[in-house]
Amino acid sequence: MKRSVFFISDGTGITAEALGNSLLAQFDGVELEKITLPYIDSPEKAAVAVQTIQAAAAQDGVRPILIDTIVNNEIRTVLNGCDALKIDVFSTFIKPLEHEFGIDSSYSVGKSHGIVEATRYKDRIDSVNFAIDNDDGARTKQYDRADIILVGVSRCGKTPTCLYMALQFGIRAANYPLTEEDLELDGLPESLKPYKDKLYGLTIDPFQLAAIRHERRPNSRYSSLTQCDTEVRYVEQLFKQQQLPFINTTTFSIEEISTRIMADRGLKRRIN
């Protein structure tokens, strides 16, 4: 029996999705159909949403789950017309916060974004540009401006991690691929030596590396298990010899890699 879950928001829906997915992941064996309804920012749009929700309920033969981060009371009232289990984040937690702060909250639609966006936008763009300009060892002149420089073999996850740190946290992250030539050196490549304090290593299971490289260049030396195994062994030796902090990315998501590195190095987000 399938059951529909709706993530409903007056904004992007990203918070409702993240919270809802975390909660629902605690339930094994329940078959769920997840639907996000973002930008429900008027009673009219809420009325359309109610129709969608009721149609799903009729098809499922069981009442749906609503996980919402709607702030506005008028909109919420319309949604309350549905027969559903409602996980209602704002009305649950706003009251205790009002009591604690001793003031009323501003129950306005989409309040969590707005005024700060212009600065935030600029900082994010700067960080994204920095990550792109300093991707894959493309240049090393800007390393003095970097918050962190990720090092590791080709395709171990450096680029998406740098981009994620830039977009999510405004961190200026560069990355440098350690190639076979680099790994034959005794020590770090010259261009990295002055920035040893900013270096953070990524490593990866050789089997997974071979699978990822195989997608890019099938049946090549580059993607062979022997080659991947050798490179990973060399790179881990280098990290240990140089006493660089490093993380094995094999079982981690990009969010986890990024936040673990930041926690380990005490890097603070530049945007909120």
Annotated binding residues for ADP, written as ranges, equal 152-159
Q: Name which of 26 and 219 has its Cβ closer to a copy of itself.
A: 26
CB proximity list for 156: less than 8 A, separation 6 or greater: 202, 203, 204, 209, 249
Q: Would you count residue 134 as binding a copy of itself (CB under 8 A)?
A: no
Question: Smallest distance from the beta carbon of 222 to a copy of itself, in angstroms?
Answer: 15
Backbone angles phi and psi of 194, in degrees to 5: -70, -10
State how far the Cα of 80 lies from the Cα of 110, in Å rounded to an integer. 19
In three-state form (DSSP H/G/I as H, E/B as E, the rest C), the secondary structure along the chain is CCEEEEEECCCCCHHHHHHHHHHHCCCCCCCEEEEEECCCCCHHHHHHHHHHHHHHHHHHCCCCEEEECCCCHHHHHHHCCCCCEEEEHHHHHHHHHHHHHCCCCCCCCCCCCCCCHHHHHHHHHHHHHHHHHCHHHCCCCCHHHCCEEEEECCCCCHHHHHHHHHHHHCCCEEEEECCHHHHHCCCCCCCCHHHHHHEEEEECCHHHHHHHHHHHCCCCCCCCHHHHHHHHHHHHHHHHHCCCCEEECCCCCHHHHHHHHHHHHCCCCCCC
* Residue from 51, 59, 105, 119 in contact with a copy of itself (CB under 8 A): 105
Determine, following the binding rule CB under 8 A, whether residue 1 of this chain makes contact with a copy of itself: no
Token pair for 108: 């306005």
CB of 237 to a copy of itself, least distance (A): 25
The residues in 43-72 that bind a copy of itself, with binding defined as CB under 8 A, are: 65, 69, 71
Q: Is 154 in the site for a copy of itself (CB under 8 A)?
A: no
Q: Is 143 near a copy of itself (CB under 8 A)?
A: no
Quick one: which segment of 72-80, 143-151, 157-165, 225-233 binds a copy of itself (CB under 8 A)? 157-165
Q: How far is the CB of 37 from a copy of itself (least distance, A)?
A: 9
125 contacts: CB under 8 Å, gap ≥ 6:
none
- The one-letter amino acid code at 179 reads T
User: Least distance (Å) from a copy of itself to the CB of residue 53?
Assistant: 15
Q: 155 or 195, CB closer to a copy of itself?
A: 155
As measured in angstroms, the least distance from the Cβ of 187 to a copy of itself is: 30
4 binds a copy of itself (CB under 8 A): no
Name the segment binding a copy of itself (CB under 8 A); options: 144-152, 161-169, 221-229, 238-246.
161-169
Closest separation in Å from C-beta 104 to a copy of itself: 9
Q: Is residue 159 near a copy of itself by the rule CB under 8 A?
A: yes
Residues, the chain? 272
> Among 8, 78, 146, 163, which residue interacts with a copy of itself (rule: CB under 8 A)?
163
Binders in 72-91 for a copy of itself, by CB under 8 A: 85, 87, 89-90
Site for a copy of itself in 23-42 (CB under 8 A): 23-30, 34, 36, 38-39
Residues 172-231 that bind a copy of itself (CB under 8 A): 208, 212, 215
| Residue of 73, 121, 142, 179 interacting with a copy of itself (CB under 8 A) | 121
